[in-house]
């Protein structure tokens, strides 16, 4: 798995759902949530989106298109 994007939980969850619509599975790694649960602080932009290396280029293109729409 390769990290394709980092942002807030809200943005990453939306991107993950959109990628799934195109048949690209992803994993969300939420360091912010983990840090808060452990009693530590972290940046709210500590949420990462991972995809398979074979899907990386298509995922980057789709994410770029989605972010332009906003």
DSSP labels, 37-56: HHT----TT-EEEEE-GGGH
Whole-structure pTM over 0.85, yes or no? no
| Domains delineated in the chain | 2-69 (3.30.70)
Structure confidence at residue 17 (pLDDT): 98
4: nearest Cα among 28, 32, 33, 30: 28
Question: Per residue in 30-62, pLDDT tens?
Answer: 876 655 565 666 666 679 999 999 999 999 999
Q: What is the mean pLDDT of residues 8-32?
A: 93
């Amino acid at each position: 798995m390769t990290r394709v994007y980092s942002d807030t939980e809200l943005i990453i969850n939306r991107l993950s759902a959109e990628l799934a619509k195109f048949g690209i599975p992803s994993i969300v790694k939420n360091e912010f949530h983990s840090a808060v649960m452990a009693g530590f602080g972290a940046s709210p932009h500590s949420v990462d989106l991972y995809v398979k290396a074979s899907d990386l280029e298509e995922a980057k293109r789709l994410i770029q298109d989605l972010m332009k729409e906003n």
